[in-house]
């Protein structure tokens, strides 16, 4: 029984191998994304956004897509990257979602001179001390999204905050960037706690602690199911009644705001994209995503779209091989659904607007995003990056 | 907030977590005690309970529909697993059981993804228990008080059934020595089956009860699994007393660990587990001394 | 009891020959898979030693593997220690860690042993994850490979590194087989079959268990140090409990208590998983189903089933020839 099953699988695997690359596409793109595991939904949004950009440019037939699942595990991500670069010989890589995977593949991508368009992973170091001329980030950096919020909150009368975030690199970078800016603007951080990453589901003890310090506001970074749990429990413990919840805008992303329900109303976040931006580019984009995928685009969809769009722009500028694409990518600039974007020549990180938004109940009773303020052209300091 | 009420709220937090862990682990431990079966898929059944609870609540608009549906559906799933797989694994040894049920976890995770998608989903608490309650100046979410009450109720019912009824006597006999019990005319197989169903139903109930507090996502069963196993092993497998003791120890260690020793909080429950096992290699209150 | 049968020898040699031939003929990625399979095989052999023969189902072998990887990476990256020294240190430190775990958990059995090892594995994982000096969850990058230029070799050449990994796997098998055939190996099997009796004849059971764990840990650490060089990067994911679970699956899938089965399991796992995961994001369901089928079908595993059938025929033949049955059969190899 087992032998027959394995036999069949082995045969199947040979069939797959034999089918091999046989298309006449001009370019090969390697998608290095989590198609399984905790970030699978993010991976899918990025992939969908990328394909939309190719479609819009009429380039779908010119590009052969290679998709590999990182499983959100750095060693797996690195193995898959090696496969795509050495075996499939892709012209450009797109991904990854996890900063851990990005850290793992960084040296290899740099050494093999393979252009990598970072479509999510926000680790500051990737466009700071560990930057590379082959790595261009079109998503965001952890500090870029949070820094503007420091000044904004002080301007809006918040004098003291309590911060919470999961205890891992992204959590620390996001909170540190915010806290530094907040203190610089004259605010006071009255308490700071990091919760064990991915093992904390019950935030009760932390919420009670935050409550006991009596801050003007609570500022957090959480994503995925942690964000849902946090927002709901924040409301359940009654903190929302007199202490506004602020955070890195991933907290109430369109991806999971529905699961948060009414608890998300009134939460204020800062993010590089919200689907309710009132620009012609964004309206067309939202409509296209609605039509093709029947859902509201998230910041991840737009990151995927901009990864695709910057690739398209690089090709349009005449780049044909890896080296040329890598050179062309940092020079792209256009108006994205999220506003005007360009690549910072000093770091290869995107320069973009950061939006402060509040989650509100729309006319149709569904939760939507209300724009409160825009901080234009936010750019990171080089932080030790030498390109 | 006064100092007194702060610690009172943290105690309630510990109590609430303990009760949730109890609902989850009591099924696992009794199944082990009776059937000598290590069911790693118990966490997946909890996740299934949460998903069913949310789906039923969304479909009918009532939390209580999910509350009722989840234990039933999960128990039915448990029966299928029992008849199809676990019955024949009964004598296969702990390692084979661990591995078969590990395989089941993998299968369940992908089934959740296929049916409910990759994105976490949530639901709201019932209207009856929204908001907060105040008692002696201590303000606490009402729904969490409901969880504490429900846990205490299940605890009391199980304790009564086990200690005061004939069924309880038969179960205890089966845990002590199943062959001897069978010789004395107890239909051991039937009791096993019943206990297994109740254990699964409680896992489903725990899922439905947890759904408004936590979100349901494909990996939630795997995430809770370790805590549940720690509860069961620390308490000693097979005994209600062990499950209660284990739940309280882990629940309070986790809650007060995060408050008092935030930097080693994530180490604490593992250290607790290691410590107990080094000095009591079969847990604190094993069913058979 | 371990017996280096003809079937075992032939299978190992066949896999070795296939691995070498494949390394020379395949593309870049095929070599990566060879290295991955070789390191997984080392880890699986190390687990089978204590699980299959010693009856100790460890759920912390991923952590021990990670201790090896981190020792090598930490010493070379942070302290710029000579890679050969770091390599040796990785093996020693892993063995010491394993010895401690083995000694402390020696009194527990069955599921309690499994959980106790899980606890220690998770503690190691959390400590590494939260240790900023070791890079926390970001891990450590820029791990060098062994500098073998004095020998005229270059491990940055993937053919040579793949052959090195394969050779290490073959040596690990030989070492494990040697240990299991020795008096110590027999004592270990004796503990699994009847711990009380071994105690009664005067054996210090905990010490034997701890030493067995240490030997197994040394092999796991070796695997970890090679894995760190392959990826030139280490991260806490190496130590997560699911890694230990996966290795256990690999051992079972190939055939626990056969020492060769784990190698077969590792090879099949690495190559199949790669194919399935590029075909579908739902590869967990396939892996889970295969695992369930393997166990329900008797739990002997791929290679274990073959060995079982060959061995049964041999015993029948011996019986027909009038040779009295000796303790070479598998009557003590059940894992009830």
Contacts of C248 in chain B (CB under 8 A): 99, 102
Provide the domain count of chain A. 2
List chain B residues with pLDDT less than 70. 1-2, 288-289
Position C301 pLDDT exceeds 70: yes
How much is the pLDDT for A24? Answer: 60
How much is the pLDDT for B236? Answer: 87
Only one residue has tokens 């996890």, namely A98
How much is the pLDDT for B288? Answer: 63
The DSSP output letter for B118 is: S
In angstroms, the separation between the Cα of residue C54 and the nearest Cα of chain B is: 13
Interface touch C57/B95, C-beta < 8 Å: yes
Q: How far apart are CA A178 and CA A172, in angstroms?
A: 10
- β-strands B138-141, B132-135 pairing: antiparallel
Q: Give the CB-side neighbour count of residue A123, counting CA atoms within 13 A.
A: 24
- Asked if B278 has any chain C CB less than 8 Å from its own CB, the reply is yes
Element containing residue C78 per DSSP (H, E): helix C61-78
In angstroms, the separation between the Cα of residue A259 and the nearest Cα of chain B is: 4
Interface touch A224/B120, C-beta < 8 Å: yes
Q: What sign does the CA torsion over C130, C131, C132, C136 have?
A: negative
Neighbours of chain B (3+ CB pairs under 8 A): A, C
Interface touch C233/A123, C-beta < 8 Å: no
Axis-axis angle for helices C110-129, C241-254 (nearest 10): 130
The neighbouring-strand residues paired with A370 are A358
Position C230 pLDDT exceeds 70: yes
In angstroms, the separation between the Cα of residue B223 and the nearest Cα of chain A is: 7
Q: How far apart are CA B101 and CA B88, in angstroms?
A: 13
Contact B29, B235 (CB under 8 A): yes
Position C255 pLDDT exceeds 50: yes
Q: Which residue of A has its CA nearest to B252?
A: A205
Q: What sign does the CA torsion over B179, B184, B185, B191 have?
A: negative
Confidence at A16, pLDDT banded by 50, 70, 90: very low
- The answer to whether position A213 is within a domain reads yes
DSSP string, A12-68: HHHHHHHH------SEEEEEEE-SSSTTHHHHHHHHHHHHHHHHHTT-GGGEEEEEE
First-to-last CA distance in chain C? 16
Q: Which residue of C has its CA nearest to A123?
A: C138
In angstroms, the separation between the Cα of residue C214 and the nearest Cα of chain B is: 19
Determine which of A183-192, B251-260, C113-122, C318-327 has the lowest per-residue pLDDT on average. Answer: C318-327
Helix (H, G, I), strand (E, B) or coil at B288: coil
Long-range CB contact pairs, C23-27, < 8 A, 24+? C23/C159, C23/C162, C23/C163, C23/C166, C24/C159, C27/A86, C27/A87
In angstroms, the separation between the Cα of residue C158 and the nearest Cα of chain A is: 12
How much is the pLDDT for B211? Answer: 92
Q: How far apart are CA B72 and CA B77, in angstroms?
A: 9
What's phi and psi for C27, nearest 5 deg?
Answer: -80, -170
Q: Are residues A10 and A95 in the same domain?
A: yes
Closest CA to C294 of B127, A169, B96, A105: B96
Express each pLDDT in C145-164 by its tens digit.
999 888 888 898 889 999 99
Instruction: Give the CA angle between residues C28, C30, C36 to the nearest 5°.
Output: 110
| Mean pLDDT rounded to a whole number for chain C | 90
Helix (H, G, I), strand (E, B) or coil at A383: coil
Interface touch B96/C105, C-beta < 8 Å: no
Decide which of A271, A289, A308 is a domain's last residue: A271
Q: How far apart are CA C85 and CA C132, in angstroms?
A: 24
Nearest to C294 among A2, A71, A130 (CB): A2
Q: How far apart are CA C6 and CA B192, in angstroms?
A: 46
Q: How far apart are CA A219 and CA A160, in angstroms?
A: 10
- Asked if A172 has any chain B CB less than 8 Å from its own CB, the reply is no
- β-strands A188-195, A160-166 pairing: parallel
Helix (H, G, I), strand (E, B) or coil at A220: strand
Interface touch C285/B92, C-beta < 8 Å: no
- Asked if A206 has any chain B CB less than 8 Å from its own CB, the reply is yes
Domain CATH for A339: 3.40.50.2300
Q: How far apart are CA A383 and CA A176, in angstroms?
A: 14
In this complex, how many residue pairs, one in chain A and one in chain C, have their CB atoms less than 8 Å apart?
A: 108
Contact B265, B36 (CB under 8 A): no
Only one residue has tokens 């919200």, namely A274
What's phi and psi for B135, nearest 5 deg?
Answer: -145, 125
Nearest to B16 among A40, A204, A232 (CB): A204
Q: How far apart are CA A47 and CA C316, in angstroms?
A: 60
Position A3 pLDDT exceeds 60: no
Contact A374, A161 (CB under 8 A): no
Both structure tokens of C211: 């030493």
Q: Which residue of B has its CA nearest to C118?
A: B270
In angstroms, the separation between the Cα of residue C200 and the nearest Cα of chain A is: 42
Question: Is this complex scored with an ipTM above 0.85?
Answer: yes
Query: Which residue in A36, A72, A208 has the most chain B C-beta atoms within 10 A of its own C-beta, making it the best mutation to test that interface?
Result: A208
What's phi and psi for B254, nearest 5 deg?
Answer: -70, -45
- The answer to whether position A307 is within a domain reads yes
Which structural domain, as residue segments, surrounds residue A244?
A: 143-271
Q: How far apart are CA A359 and CA A296, in angstroms?
A: 15
Percent of chain A exceeding pLDDT 70 equals 94
User: Which among A69-83, A213-227, C285-299 has the top mean pLDDT?
Assistant: A213-227
Residues within 8 A of C (CB atoms), B 111-140 only: 111, 113-114
Kindly report the number of other CB atoms within 10 A of residue A293's CB atom: 16
Confidence at A173, pLDDT banded by 50, 70, 90: very high
The residues on A that touch C, with CB distances below 8 Å, are 1-3, 5-6, 9-10, 12-13, 16-17, 35-36, 40, 67-69, 71, 73-75, 78-79, 82-83, 86-87, 99-100, 103-104, 106-108, 123, 125, 130, 167-169, 196-197
Interface touch A104/C141, C-beta < 8 Å: yes
Contacts of A73 in chain C (CB under 8 A): 237
In angstroms, the separation between the Cα of residue B118 and the nearest Cα of chain A is: 5
Q: Are residues A242 and A296 in the same domain?
A: no
Interface touch A201/B223, C-beta < 8 Å: yes
Contacts of C256 in chain B (CB under 8 A): 95
Average pLDDT over residues A370-385: 92
Q: How far apart are CA B50 and CA B197, in angstroms?
A: 17
Position C333 pLDDT exceeds 50: no
Decide which of A238, A271, A304 is a domain's last residue: A271
Contact B229, C115 (CB under 8 A): yes
Q: Are residues A87 and A106 in the same domain?
A: yes
- The answer to whether position A356 is within a domain reads no
Helix (H, G, I), strand (E, B) or coil at A192: strand
- Asked if B231 has any chain C CB less than 8 Å from its own CB, the reply is no
A303: CB partners within 8 A, 6+ apart: A46, A49, A119, A120, A138, A139, A140, A273
What's phi and psi for A135, nearest 5 deg?
Answer: -110, 115
Q: How far apart are CA A227 and CA A241, in angstroms?
A: 19
- Asked if B273 has any chain C CB less than 8 Å from its own CB, the reply is yes
Q: Are residues A128 and A250 in the same domain?
A: no
Nearest to A202 among B17, B132, B212 (CB): B17
Contacts of A71 in chain C (CB under 8 A): 277
Interface touch C282/B233, C-beta < 8 Å: no
Q: What sign does the CA torsion over A265, A266, A267, A268 have?
A: positive
How much is the pLDDT for A19? Answer: 41
How much is the pLDDT for C330? Answer: 43
Closest CA to C38 of C232, C269, C256, C241: C269
C27: CB partners within 8 A, 6+ apart: A86, A87
Q: Are residues A129 and A5 in the same domain?
A: yes
Q: What sign does the CA torsion over A284, A289, A295, A298 have?
A: negative
Q: Are residues A260 and A288 in the same domain?
A: no
Q: Are residues A211 and A263 in the same domain?
A: yes
How much is the pLDDT for B171? Answer: 84
Q: Are residues A130 and A160 in the same domain?
A: no
Neighbours of chain C (3+ CB pairs under 8 A): A, B
Average pLDDT over residues A286-310: 95
Contacts of C305 in chain A (CB under 8 A): 2-3
How much is the pLDDT for C325? Answer: 52
Only one residue has tokens 């040796």, namely C88
Instruction: Give the CA angle between residues B88, B93, B99 to the nearest 5°.
Output: 80
Interface touch A100/C137, C-beta < 8 Å: yes
Closest CA to A271 of A189, A178, A348: A178
Interface touch B100/C107, C-beta < 8 Å: no
Percent of chain A exceeding pLDDT 90 equals 73
- The answer to whether position A115 is within a domain reads yes
What's phi and psi for B21, nearest 5 deg?
Answer: -65, -35
- The answer to whether position A369 is within a domain reads no
């Amino acid at each position: 029984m087992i032998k027959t099953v394995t036999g069949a699988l082995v045969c199947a695997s040979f069939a797959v191998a034999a089918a091999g690359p046989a298309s006449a596409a001009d370019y090969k793109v390697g998608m290095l994304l989590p198609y399984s595991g905790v970030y699978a939904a993010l991976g899918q949004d990025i992939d969908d956004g990328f394909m939309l950009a190719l479609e819009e440019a009429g380039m779908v037939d010119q590009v052969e897509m290679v998709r590999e699942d990182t499983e959100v595990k750095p060693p797996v991500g690195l193995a898959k990257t090696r496969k795509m670069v050495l075996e499939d010989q892709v012209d450009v890589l797109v991904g990854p979602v996890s900063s851990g995977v990005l850290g793992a593949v960084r040296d290899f991508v740099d050494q093999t001179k393979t252009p990598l368009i970072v479509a999510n992973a926000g680790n500051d170091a990737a466009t700071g001390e560990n930057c590379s001329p082959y790595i261009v980030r079109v998503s965001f950096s952890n500090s870029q999204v949070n820094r503007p919020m420091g000044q904004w909150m002080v301007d809006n009368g918040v004098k003291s905050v309590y911060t919470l975030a999961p205890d891992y690199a992204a959590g620390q970078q996001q909170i540190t960037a915010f806290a530094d800016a907040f203190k610089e603007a004259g605010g006071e951080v009255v308490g700071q706690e990091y919760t064990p990453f991915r093992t904390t589901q019950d935030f009760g003890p932390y919420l009670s602690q935050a409550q006991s310090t009596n801050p003007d506001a609570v500022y957090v970074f959480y994503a995925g199911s942690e964000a849902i749990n946090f927002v709901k429990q924040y409301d359940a413990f009654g903190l929302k009644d007199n202490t506004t919840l602020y955070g890195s805008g991933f907290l109430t992303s369109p991806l999971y705001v529905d699961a948060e329900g009414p608890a998300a109303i009134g939460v204020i976040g800062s993010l590089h994209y919200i689907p309710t931006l009132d620009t012609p580019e964004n309206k067309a984009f939202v409509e296209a995503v609605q039509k093709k995928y029947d859902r509201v685009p998230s910041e991840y969809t737009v990151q995927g779209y901009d990864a695709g769009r910057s690739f398209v722009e690089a090709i349009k500028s005449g780049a044909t091989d890896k080296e040329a694409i890598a050179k062309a990518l940092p020079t792209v600039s256009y108006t994205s659904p999220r506003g005007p974007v360009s690549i910072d020549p000093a770091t290869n990180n995107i320069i973009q607007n950061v939006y402060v938004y509040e989650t509100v109940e729309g006319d149709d009773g569904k939760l939507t995003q209300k724009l409160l303020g825009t901080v234009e052209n936010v750019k990171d300091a080089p932080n030790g990056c030498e390109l | 907030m006064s100092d007194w009420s702060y610690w009172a709220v943290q105690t309630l937090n510990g109590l609430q977590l303990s009760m949730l862990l109890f609902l989850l682990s009591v099924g696992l431990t009794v199944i082990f005690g009776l059937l000598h079966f290590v069911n790693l898929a118990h966490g997946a059944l909890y996740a299934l309970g949460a998903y069913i609870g949310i789906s039923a609540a969304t479909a009918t608009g009532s939390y209580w529909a999910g509350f009722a549906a989840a234990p039933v559906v999960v128990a039915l799933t448990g029966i299928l697993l029992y008849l199809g797989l676990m019955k024949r694994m009964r004598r296969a040894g702990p390692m084979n059981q661990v591995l078969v049920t590990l395989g089941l976890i993998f299968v369940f995770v992908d089934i959740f993804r296929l049916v409910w998608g990759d994105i976490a989903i949530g639901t709201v608490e019932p209207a009856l228990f929204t908001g907060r309650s105040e008692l002696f100046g201590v303000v606490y979410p009402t729904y969490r008080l409901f969880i504490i009450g429900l846990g205490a109720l299940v605890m009391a019912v199980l304790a009564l059934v086990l200690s005061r009824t004939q069924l309880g006597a038969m179960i205890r006999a089966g845990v002590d020595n199943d062959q001897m019990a069978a010789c004395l005319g107890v239909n051991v197989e039937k009791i096993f089956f019943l206990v297994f169903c109740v254990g699964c139903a409680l896992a489903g109930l725990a899922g439905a009860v947890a759904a408004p507090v936590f979100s349901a996502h494909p990996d939630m069963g795997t995430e809770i699994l370790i805590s549940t196993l720690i509860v069961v092993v620390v308490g000693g497998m097979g005994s209600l007393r062990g499950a209660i003791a284990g739940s309280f120890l882990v629940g309070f260690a986790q809650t007060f660990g995060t408050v008092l020793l935030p930097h080693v909080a994530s180490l604490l429950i593992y250290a607790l587990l290691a410590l107990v096992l080094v000095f009591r290699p079969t847990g604190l209150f094993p069913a058979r001394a | 009891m371990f017996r280096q049968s003809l079937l075992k020898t032939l299978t190992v040699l066949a896999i070795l020959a296939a691995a070498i031939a494949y390394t020379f003929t395949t593309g870049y990625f095929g070599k990566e898979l060879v290295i991955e399979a070789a390191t997984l095989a080392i880890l699986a052999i190390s687990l089978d030693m204590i699980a299959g023969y010693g009856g100790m189902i460890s759920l912390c072998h991923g952590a021990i593997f990670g201790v090896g990887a981190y020792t090598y990476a930490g010493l070379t990256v942070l302290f710029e220690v000579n890679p050969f020294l770091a390599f040796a240190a990785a093996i020693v430190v892993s063995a010491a860690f394993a010895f401690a775990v083995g000694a402390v958990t020696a009194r527990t059995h069955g599921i309690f042993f499994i959980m106790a090892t899980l606890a220690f594995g998770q503690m190691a994982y959390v400590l590494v994850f939260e240790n900023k000096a070791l890079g926390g969850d970001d891990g450590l990058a820029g791990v060098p490979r062994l500098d073998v230029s004095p020998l005229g070799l270059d491990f940055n050449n993937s053919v040579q590194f793949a052959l090195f990994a394969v050779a290490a796997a073959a040596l690990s098998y030989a070492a494990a087989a040697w240990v299991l055939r020795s008096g110590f190996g027999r004592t270990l099997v004796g503990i699994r079959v009847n711990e009380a009796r071994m105690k009664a004849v005067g054996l210090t059971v905990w010490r034997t268990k701890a030493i067995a764990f240490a030997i197994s840990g040394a092999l796991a650490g070796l695997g970890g140090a090679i894995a760190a060089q392959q990826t030139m990067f280490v991260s806490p994911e190496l130590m997560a409990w699911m890694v230990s679970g996966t290795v256990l699956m690999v051992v079972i899938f190939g055939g626990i208590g056969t020492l060769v089965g784990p190698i077969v399991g590792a090879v099949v796992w690495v190559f199949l998983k790669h194919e399935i995961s590029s075909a579908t994001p739902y590869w967990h369901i396939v892996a889970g189903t295969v695992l369930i089928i393997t166990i329900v079908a008797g739990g002997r595993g791929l290679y274990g089933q073959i060995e079982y059938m060959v061995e049964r025929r041999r015993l029948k033949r011996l019986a027909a020839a009038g040779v009295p049955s000796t303790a070479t059969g598998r009557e003590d190899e059940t894992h009830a």
